[in-house]
Chain A
Amino acid sequence: MSNPAKRQTTALDKALRFGLYAMLIAMAAVYLAPFIVMLLTSLKDVEEIRTGTLLSLPGSIDFSAWSKAWSGACTGSQCEGMAPYFFNSFKIVIPAVAISTLLGAINGYVISHWKFRGSDFFFAALLVGCFIPFQVILLPMARTLGWLGIANTTAGLVMVHVVYGVAFTTLFFRNFYQAIPVELVKAARLDGAGFFTIFYRIILPVSTPIIVVTVIWQFTQIWNDFLFGVAFSGFDTQPVTVALNNLVNTSFGGKEYNVDMAAAIIAALPTLLVYVLAGKYFVRGLTAGAVKG
């Protein structure tokens, strides 16, 4: 009596599950398609692009667009490819990530374990810094960089990224350190351990996960930045995003979409690599600010 009914539901279940998988895979194809198109286009020559379609395969694998994008394509008035700007980005990202992560760790440590009058209020005030539209600080910052004599320099860009990154790094570390028992720190203080001793001996050894999350978050944010790059960099200090935009919008002669796409992949490669290698931490960073706990 119950047997046929049960068989029916499993058949329905199977159909539903099939539909579910079909849907999920179709969506995955949609998300992947732009990257596949970029890759295919970057491997074609101009003639193949003209005659073929987005998803048509290249006749032979041709890396000349890649080498042109890397070292020969014109970005505005210069024609040195993406390479110099790729390294510019590293020159900006490495110090900016290091300094903002260190400051965030110390700030988070103070706000969670060495509270003083006004530290909570300051934390709330700093959080606003995570959310303001940066347009509201662009003009004064441009003036300030000029006064400090670091307008259009790598140092200036590093400073800007540190100043506006610290709000996020502090938030990350504060939320993480909040979970370390207060008693642990209190006991160490009673034993006579000072501010930095406790930080080195107790806090830092357990901080590896949050350091990884913060470094990945900051790396992605600063590498992908365009607004500060375009507003505050000079010709020879431009980050890779600005160079890519210039390359795509430089119109000498015919449009070379294969070079555009190769350049775009080059600009995306470092953050994509980080995502593929450490996706778990990347997601944790993304959701850290949004989902409490």
Chain B
Amino acid sequence: MNKNAAKAGSTATPAGRPARLSLADWMPKIVMAPTVVAAVVCIYGYMIWTAVLSFTNSRMLPTYNFVGFDQYERLFMNDRWLVALSNLGIFGGLFILICLFLGVMLAIFLDQKIRAEGAIRTIYLYPMAISFIVTGTAWKWLLNPTNGIEKMMIEMGFEDFRFGWLTDPDMVVYCLVIAAVWQASGFVMALFLAGLRGVDGEMIKAAQLDGAGIFTTYRRIILPSLKPVFFSALVILSHIAIKSFDLVAALTNGGPGYSSDLPANFMYAHAFTRSQIGLGAASAMVMLGCVLAILIPYLYSELRGERHE
């Protein structure tokens, strides 16, 4: 008995210690509880709830008359949805490609021991600090077919210059690309610049000793070692693209007609203003599917990578 007490240490009595230990054991769980409850209910619970709604014929208010896959059938018969999906393909694809290209290029350029690098970097990245609503408002003015860039070019002497994409149903989606690239490409630059700074200097020296020029060094050694950064940037950019809602709202409001709608705008319009809750829920589930299709392979590889470390 005495021996045991001595073992347990001088700070606690044999009776007091287990009691305090159990409180300490519970404390982490108690403080985590609100977050756990919120996450289980507001992320997973709501996901299931939306999934359930997508199988009902809810219109203005949620009802629970189940109609199977009817809403999904209606969704993929709906021209506005198909336009939104194909816009997402065009917008997302171009947005990601151009951002990656510009981001990598600017990062490599900035990594050449540039004077005033900090100031230039700040300029490239500042659009990321402002809201897509502000970006949309600014570009709506810049791309204005009569008063914007078109007028400026004509005044500069290019009399035949025409730039009416914002009101052209076939071209309006490219206006979204321009504004979104302006906003997010600096961020990709920052990601890659951080990656470049982390590349092993010895490896580069070894390559240059072997007579590799600067272009070969980048193409063969440095860029391949930045594969994880490419992967992260790809995931984040596609995530931004799929969630894009504010930019469309501010820049085009989906127009002309619904020619520049994206799925997020379709969902909002049907669920909140057009009293088509079932259809809106179905479109939200399709969006979730798109995100998961990108996210699951990414998380899988991240977690596997962590285990190897």
Contacts and interface: CB of A to CB of B under 8 A. Distances in A.
Determine if chain A interacts with chain B: yes
Interface of A: 17, 20-21, 23-25, 27-28, 31-32, 34-35, 37-38, 41, 49-50, 53-55, 103, 106-107, 110, 114, 116, 119, 122, 124-129, 131-144, 163-164, 166-167, 170, 189-192, 194-196, 220, 223-227, 230-231, 241, 244-245, 248-249, 257, 260-261, 263-265, 267-268, 271-272, 274-276, 279, 282-283, 286-287, 289-292
Contact of A271 (B25, B53, B131): B131
A111 to B, nearest CB: 8
A125 B133 contact: no
12 contacts: A24-B110, A31-B127, A35-B126, A37-B142, A54-B141, A133-B287, A134-B243, A135-B263, A192-B12, A267-B131, A276-B122, A287-B194
Contacts of A263: 137
Contact of A267 (B110, B134, B155, B303): B134
B129 A271 contact: yes
B129 A272 contact: yes
A137 B38 CA distance: 12
A225 B29 CA distance: 31
A274 B267 CA distance: 33
Contact of B272 (A125, A132, A231, A244): A231
Nearest to A28: B123
Contact of B129 (A49, A132, A135, A282): A282
Nearest to B47: A136
Given A143-B62, A194-B27, A220 B129 contact: yes
Interface stretch (B71-79, B167-175, B204-212, B277-285): B277-285
Nearest to B21: A189
Q: Which 4 A-B pairs have the closest CB atoms?
A: A224-B131, A275-B129, A114-B28, A226-B246
A271 B138 CA distance: 16
Given A28-B124, A279-B125, 18 more contacts: A24-B109, A34-B127, A37-B138, A125-B44, A126-B39, A131-B291, A139-B280, A140-B46, A140-B53, A231-B268, A261-B138, A264-B138, A265-B134, A279-B122, A291-B191, A291-B194, A291-B195, A292-B305
A54 B146 CA distance: 11
Interface of B: 9, 11-12, 20, 23-25, 27-29, 31-32, 34-36, 38-39, 42-47, 49-50, 53, 62, 106, 109-110, 112, 114, 120, 122-135, 137-142, 147-149, 151-152, 155, 182, 186-187, 190-191, 194-195, 228-229, 232-233, 236, 239, 242-243, 245-246, 249-250, 253, 263-264, 267-268, 271-272, 277, 280-281, 283-285, 287-288, 290-291, 295, 299, 302-303, 305
B190 A283 contact: yes
Given A140-B46, A143-B62, A257 B141 contact: yes
B32 A110 contact: yes
Contacts of A283: 125, 190
A290 B112 contact: no
Contacts of B280: 139
Contacts of B106: 24, 27
B36 A31 contact: no
Nearest to B130: A268
B134 A103 contact: no
B152 to A, nearest CB: 4
Given A53-B152, A272-B129, A163 B42 contact: yes
B64 to A, nearest CB: 13
Majority secondary structure of chain A interface residues (helix, strand, loop or mixed) = helix
A129 B36 CA distance: 12
Contact of A224 (B45, B123, B132, B152): B132
Contacts of A279: 122, 125
Given A103-B35, A128-B43, A170-B35, A139 B62 contact: yes
A124 B36 CA distance: 12
Nearest to B187: A286
Given A49-B147, A114-B28, A268-B130, A287 B284 contact: no
Nearest to B128: A286
A260 B125 contact: no
Nearest to A166: B35
A276 B132 CA distance: 18
Contacts of A287: 190-191, 194
B32 A122 contact: yes
A279 B124 CA distance: 12
A136 B53 CA distance: 11
Nearest to B231: A290
A249 to B, nearest CB: 7
B272 to A, nearest CB: 6
Contacts of A106: 31-32
A264 B137 CA distance: 7
Nearest to A282: B129
